[in-house]
Structure 1
Amino acid sequence: MIKVLVTYDMFREGFTELEKLYDVTFPEGRDFSYEEVYEMIPEYDVLCSMFDFPVNKKLVDHAPKLKLVSNYAVGYNNIDVAYCIEKGITVTNTPAPVTAPTANIALGLMLDVARRITECDRKLRRLGKQMKVGVLENLGIPIDGKTLGIIGMGRIGQALAKRAVACNMHILYHNRHRLSPEEEASIPARYVSKEELLAQSDFVSLNAPYTPETYHLIGEEEFKQMKSSAVLINTARGPLVDEHALVKALQDGTIHGAGLDVFEFGDHPLPELLELENVVLTPHIGTQTYETRVIMAQTVCNNVIGFLEGDRPITRVLHP
C-alpha cells in the first residue's frame, strides 16, 4: 500500500480523503523533526512537507521510494526542487488557496500604515485622555488616487491589484515576465521597469517568490529611489528586503512607512522595528484563517491523489 508521511501536526479535516486511500502517518501533538523524518523516509512513497521543513539533497538521497513532495505552501524555497526533478521526484505546492487571504492582508497593511490605525490604537491605549485628537492631529495619507507599484504580478499580485483598483488606485507593476495586453487591460495595470516603479509609486508591494535572484530585492539603493512619502508592503518572503536597510530608511525618513507580514531573519523582526511607530508588523498571518488552512490541506491531498491516481489536476512546480 502507498505510504504517505506528513511532517506537520494539524487538524485532520482536510486529510479525510487521503486517509481513506493510503497509509498516512501523522505526528501527534507536535511536528516531526528533520531527524525523525530522515529516519522514517526510506519507507515512504510521498512526503507532505510544511513550508519551513527542509527537503534537501541529504533527505532525498535517503528516500529510495519517494515519488512526490507535496508542499503545504505556495512558496517552495524549503525544497531543493532542481535536485528532486533530477531524481524523478515531482514537487507540488498550494497556490490557489492562499491568493485571496494574502492579497487581503497586503491591502489591510497598506490601509493600516496609511491611516495610522494601529499607531492610533497603541497611543489611545497608552495615553488615554492625554492623546491629542484635534482635527489636524494623527493625519494619515489616503490610498484613493495614489499609485500602487506591485513587484511580482502572479496570482497574489493580480488579486491585490484588482482590490486596489476598487479603491481607485493606479497600478504599476514589474514582473519577470510581462502579462499579456489582455491581462494588463483587465486589471488595468501598466508594466514598467523596477526603477520606474520605485520612483513613481506611493505604495510598493512585494509579491514575488523568494529565489537567489530576489534576495535583498529591496535594499539601501532601492529605498533611495523611492519617494520619501512611500510605503513598503511585504507579504511575500522576508529576505526580499534588507531589513537593516529598512530600519535605517524608516528611522531617517527615506521612506514614510512599512507594513510587514514576513521578516528577514525568521519569525520575528529586528528589535529596532518594534520601536518604530511608522511600521505595522504581523507574524506571517497572510493565510491564517481556519477555512484557508483546511482548503490548503485539501489541496495538498488533491495533489497527492491526482499524482497517484491521475483523476484530477495537480499544481506541479516545474522549476526551482
Structure 2
Amino acid sequence: MSKPLKVLVPDAHLRDLDVERGVTGALIDYQVFDETDAAAIPDDAWASCDAILVWHRMKITRDVVSRLARCRMIVRVGVGFDNVDTAACRERGIPVSNVPNYGTTEVADHAIAMMLFLARGLGSYEARLKADPARGFVAENVPVVRRLRGGTFGAIGMGRIGTAIARRAAAHDMHVVYHDPHLPEGHELGVGYERVDSLDALLARADVVSLHVPLSDETRFMIGDAQFQAMKPNAIFINIARGKLVDVDAVYRALRAGHLAAAGLDVLPSEPPVPLPPLLDAWRNDEPWLAGRLVVTPHAAFYSEAGYLDMRTFSAQMLVDYLVHGRLRNNVNPGWRDAVPASHR
C-alpha cells in the first residue's frame, strides 16, 4: 500500500476529526492544528501537505500559498471562501473547492425565524412576561409587530439559499421580489418570483429585505447609509450571509432614526464583535429605543448537528474524489489548470 496523503487542517474546530477519518480511512493522514495565524503553523507542515482542509478562521493568503510546495487541492469546509486567496491559488495551479450542498435549509429556516421573531414581537412579549407576568400579559403596544401576509419580501441574491428563503417567505403569503444581476435572463420564469432590475427598486418596495450574496470586492459593504435610506420606511432587514456586506454602524443609524423598523443579524464585520460596535453596545445594555427591534445570533444560521455532519462528510469526500480518483467537485477558482504543466494535469 502506498503512503497516505498528507492533509493539513490548520484551524480545526474539533481536533478529533472522527467524521473525516471515517470517510477517508487510511488514504489520508491529517495534520491537525487549531490556529488562526498562519505563522503558528510550522513551515514544514505547509510545504509538505498534499492538500488543505480549511475552516473559516484561517486566512490562506498569497504568502501562505507561496509556501505550498506540494499542495494539490484546498477544500474550504463551508460555503464562503473569502478567507482563501483564490487568485493566488489559480496562479499556482491549485484548485479550490467549497461545500455548497450543506446547510441551505438551516440558513433559510434561520432567516425566516429572525423575520418571525421580529414581526411577531416574540422578544418583547417574552421580556414583558419575565419582568411582570401579571401586568405584562398584554398584546398591544409592541414595536414592529405586523401582518406578513400580503407584504413584499425582497431577496438580494437568488442562489440556493436565496431561493430556499424565498420559498419560505412565499409560504407565509408574501409577494417575493428579487434582484440578482448575475443570473441569466429568464431565470425569473423558472423560480416564479418577480425580478427587479436594480437594488434600489427592490429596497423601495420590500417590507422585509433579506441579504444572501457572497462576499467579494464587488459586494463588500454593499449595504450602508444610502441603501437604508432607499428602503421603504418601517422595513425589516435580515443578514444571514456575510458580516462585511453591511456597514453595521449604518444599521445603528437607520434604527436610531426610526427609518428602519428592525434588523436581524447572524453575521458581523468582526467576529467575535470585540470591541462592541455602538449597535451591539446599545442592544447588550437593553437601551429602551432598541427594545424588540434587533435580534443577533453568533454566525449560527448554518448550524445543526445534521448540517455539521454533512459539511464535514462532504469535505472529506471531495478530498478522496480528487486526490485519489481525479474528480474535482465544486471548484470556485476556474482557470487553475492553465497554470499546471501539461505533464502534471
Q: Same fold (TM over 0.5)?
A: yes
Contact preservation (8 Å) 2:178, 2:195: yes
In the TM superposition, 1:1-320 aligns within 5 A as 1=3, 2-7=5-10, 8-10=12-14, 12-15=17-20, 16-27=22-33, 30-31=34-35, 33-39=37-43, 40-131=45-136, 133-134=138-139, 136-138=140-142, 140-179=145-184, 181=186, 183-192=187-196, 193-268=198-273, 270=277, 271-274=281-284, 275=286, 276-277=290-291, 278-310=293-325, 314-318=329-333
Contact preservation (8 Å) 2:103, 2:303: no
One-letter identity of the residue aligned with 1:189: Y
- Gaps spanning 5+ residues in structure 2: where? 336-345
State the Cα distance separating 1:187 from its structure 2 match.
Answer: 3.1
State the Cα distance separating 1:22 from its structure 2 match.
Answer: 1.4
Further displaced range: 239-248 or 270-279: 270-279
Contact preservation (8 Å) 2:9, 2:31: yes
Distance 2:317 2:181 in 1: 29
Contact preservation (8 Å) 2:124, 2:142: no
3-state SS of the aligned residue for 2:87? helix
State the Cα distance separating 1:123 from its structure 2 match.
Answer: 2.8
3-state SS of the aligned residue for 1:95? coil
Distance 2:125 2:66 in 1: 53
Match of 2:338 in 1: none
Contact preservation (8 Å) 2:155, 2:212: yes
Further displaced range: 290-299 or 170-179: 170-179
Distance 2:334 2:194 in 1: 27
Further displaced range: 281-290 or 170-179: 170-179
Distance 2:157 2:9 in 1: 30
Distance 2:147 2:41 in 1: 50
C-alpha offsets along residues 95-130 of structure 1, whole Å, 9 cap, x if unaligned? 110211111111111111111112322232234433
Distance 2:326 2:259 in 1: 53
Distance 1:106 1:179 in 2: 25
Cα distance 1:319–1:127, how it changes in 2: closer, same or farther (>3 A)?
A: farther
Identity of aligned residues (%): 30
Match of 2:342 in 1: none
| TM-score normalised over the length of structure 1 | 0.92
One-letter identity of the residue aligned with 2:294: V
State the Cα distance separating 1:85 from its structure 2 match.
Answer: 0.7
3-state SS of the aligned residue for 1:176? coil
State the Cα distance separating 1:169 from its structure 2 match.
Answer: 1.2
Cα distance 1:311–1:279, how it changes in 2: closer, same or farther (>3 A)?
A: same
C-alpha offsets along residues 273-297 of structure 1, whole Å, 9 cap, x if unaligned? 4342211111111112111111100
C-alpha offsets along residues 128-181 of structure 1, whole Å, 9 cap, x if unaligned? 4332515x3336112222111111111100111111111111111111323553
Contact preservation (8 Å) 2:207, 2:232: yes
Cα distance 1:12–1:138, how it changes in 2: closer, same or farther (>3 A)?
A: same
Cα distance 1:215–1:9, how it changes in 2: closer, same or farther (>3 A)?
A: closer
Further displaced range: 301-310 or 64-73: 301-310
State the Cα distance separating 1:233 from its structure 2 match.
Answer: 0.2
Distance 1:303 1:71 in 2: 10
C-alpha offsets along residues 200-223 of structure 1, whole Å, 9 cap, x if unaligned? 000000000111111111111111
Distance 1:272 1:234 in 2: 19
Contact preservation (8 Å) 2:49, 2:70: yes
| TM-score normalised over the length of structure 2 | 0.86
Distance 2:132 2:42 in 1: 53
Distance 1:313 1:46 in 2: 13
What number of residue pairs does the alignment pair up? 316
Distance 2:131 2:195 in 1: 44
State the Cα distance separating 1:230 from its structure 2 match.
Answer: 0.4
CA RMSD in angstroms comes to 2.0
Pick the structure with greater CA Rg: 2
One-letter identity of the residue aligned with 1:26: V
State the Cα distance separating 1:313 from its structure 2 match.
Answer: 5.6
State the Cα distance separating 1:310 from its structure 2 match.
Answer: 2.9
- Gaps spanning 5+ residues in structure 1: where? none
Contact preservation (8 Å) 1:302, 1:312: no
Contact preservation (8 Å) 1:82, 1:319: no
One-letter identity of the residue aligned with 1:191: R
Contact preservation (8 Å) 1:195, 1:225: yes
